[in-house]
Amino acid sequence: MRNVKVFVLCAGEGQRLRPYTEHQPKCLVPYRGKPLLQYQLDVFQQLHITDITLIGGYRAEALPKNYPIVINPDYATTNMVYSLFCARSRMTEDADCIVSYGDILYHASVLQTLLEDPHPIGVVTDDHWKAYWSQRMGDPLQDAETFRWEETTHRLLELGKKPTSLSDIQGQYIGLVKISASEVIRFQQTYGAFVRVTPTYRTAYMTDLIQFCIDQKLPVFGVPIKGRWAEFDTVTDLTMERDIV
């Protein structure tokens, strides 16, 4: 197996998950009796991935101490791209880098699919997104984002914008990305360019950076899956039944 490093974004406060996040970061909110983060850690163990970095901010002292923790001291005024690049020195060209949101769960098969994907930059994409979004909020357009790719190659064209119709959405990005070792340096350089031309880079979402990579002609491809994951933004998400593990 190729060398793999995982970076889990754990800096978020999760205000919409109050009161569960009053004394702990969003990634530690329990679902079915187990912290969200622990589900991911169990998947990493199952797939024999041991190089795991947690990027913390809000209530970072609550994160498990048996993993390296990088702190974003400006978590309250920044967003996930800024948090990720607080750990820039740990991204090296000798390992594939997996970036995972801390508030999602996924079956080991989802991560395995990403690890096996041959493209330089892979973005996990749920083909069955519509049923899940309808279950969560009734109107799928309420929270979903645009997602367009080339049908035959799955090369990404657009993501992260506000859709006007379902035709703008060919899938949904779940918050899980792989930057292959061969692309790590260029990915870092592209972030540098992103910072230079984006006044709001400190509050940028990951989709903003991925779209910038697409615009800069980096090889960004969707990695299709069919469910077996979940995200947790609201208290309602904690009460939903979902076939994940």
- 163 occurs within a structural domain: no
Bridge partners, residue 28, by sequence: none
pLDDT, mean of residues 29-47: 95
- Which stretches of 88-205 are DSSP H helices? 108-116, 129-137, 184-197
| Strands 121-126 and 96-101, sheet pairing | unpaired
**Alpha carbons 54 and 209: distance in angstroms, whole number:** 20
Is residue 94 assigned to a domain? yes
- Cα 231 versus chain centre, distance: 10
Which pair of structure tokens corresponds to residue 87? 């750990």
Banded pLDDT at 146 (limits 50, 70, 90): confident
Q: For residue 167, is pLDDT > 80?
A: no
Is 136 inside any structural domain?
A: no
Residue of 33 and 8 predicted with greater confidence: 8
Q: Can you tell me the mean pLDDT for 196-207?
A: 96
Counted domains in the chain: 1
In which domain, by residue range, is 195 found? 4-126+173-239
pLDDT at 192: 97
Closest of 109, 106, 105, 124 to residue 36, by C-alpha: 105
In a domain, 146, yes or no: no
Query: Is the separation of the CB atoms in 207 and 143 below 8 Å?
Result: no
Mean pLDDT, to the nearest integer, of 16-38? Answer: 93
Strands (E) across 85-208 are located at: 96-101, 104-106, 121-126, 147-149, 156-159, 172-179
Domain presence at residue 152: no
Question: Which of 13-22, 39-48, 77-86 has the lowest average pLDDT?
Answer: 13-22
Radius of gyration of the chain (CA): 17
Q: Would you say residue 165 has pLDDT above 80?
A: no
Residue 245 has pLDDT above 60, yes or no: no
Residue 155 lies in a domain: no
How far is residue 111 from each of residues 50, 158, 205, measured CA to CA in Å?
14, 23, 21
Which CATH number characterizes residue 90's domain?
A: 3.90.550.10
Contact 228, 243 (CB under 8 A): yes
Determine contact, residues 59/43, Cβ cutoff 8 Å. no
Does residue 154 fall inside a structural domain? no
pLDDT at 170: 84
In terms of pLDDT, which residue wins out, 167 or 183?
Answer: 183
Residue 156 lies inside a defined structural domain of this protein: no
pTM score of the predicted model? 0.94
